[in-house]
A and B are shown apart, each in its own frame.
Chain A
């Protein structure tokens, strides 16, 4: 069965520092992988996706993620965090019936 684990419930980084959010997945075939961001009380915004091909994918707002099949991971990175990046981040796997992780809440210190 497909599943997603986000090991970090809450992460705090200083503005301008680099960021890495972890995501591990379990999936029987080549996975479709996604990162979404959610601000309080809002819907989910797609940051980036991986279907196939280049394992390093670029997304919106300066985010990127790297697919590592050997580690079953799809970690999200950003070289320099802005205060506006504070939000909840969700990793998801699947096609029609996406499975989401529990989310990682990002706090940005001034």
Chain B
């Protein structure tokens, strides 16, 4: 049973560019959440998708947007990248309001 998968593993972008990160949930899960983890800090909630809709959103600007597809996979898009967007981006999946299982993350570096 495959767990949560994320792609790519690493990514280097330049300020002002746009980036798309991808996530496939664990089998049987219908809910995907995204978190940003800056170096030396705990993860911060960006948003959660359920039934292809954004169900809840954390304190992140509109430059951060997402999408969920009918197969429950999800994308995180970040526009107009800033140096401060450099972080590990974690995707987590769950079934309803239960425990979340995390993927290995995508390391984004903005130069």
Contact = CB atoms under 8 A, between A and B. Distances in A.
Given A43-B90, A44-B90, A95-B97, A100 B44 contact: yes
Interface residues on B, range: 20 to 34
A102 B43 contact: no
Interface stretch (B13-21, B70-78, B79-87, B102-110): B102-110
Contacts of B100: 46, 98
B28 interface: no
A32 B104 CA distance: 23
Nearest to B105: A43
A42 B92 CA distance: 13
Interface string B31-66: 101010000011111001000000110100000000
B99 A90 contact: no
Contact of A42 (B35, B99, B104): B104
Contacts of B35: 98
Nearest to B58: A97
Nearest to B43: A100
B111 to A, nearest CB: 19
Nearest to A42: B104
Interface string A14-55: 000000000000000000101010000111111001000000
Interface string B1-14: 00010000000000
A1 to B, nearest CB: 11
Q: Which of B35, B42, B58, B107 gathers the greatest number of chain A CB atoms within 10 Å?
A: B42
A43 B33 contact: no
A14 B99 CA distance: 31
3 A-B pairs with the lowest CB-CB distances in the bound complex, closest first: A100-B42, A44-B102, A43-B102
Interface of B: 4, 31, 33, 35, 41-45, 48, 55-56, 58, 90, 92, 97, 99-105, 107
Given A4-B42, A43-B90, A96-B56, 7 more contacts: A44-B102, A90-B42, A97-B33, A97-B45, A98-B35, A98-B43, A98-B100
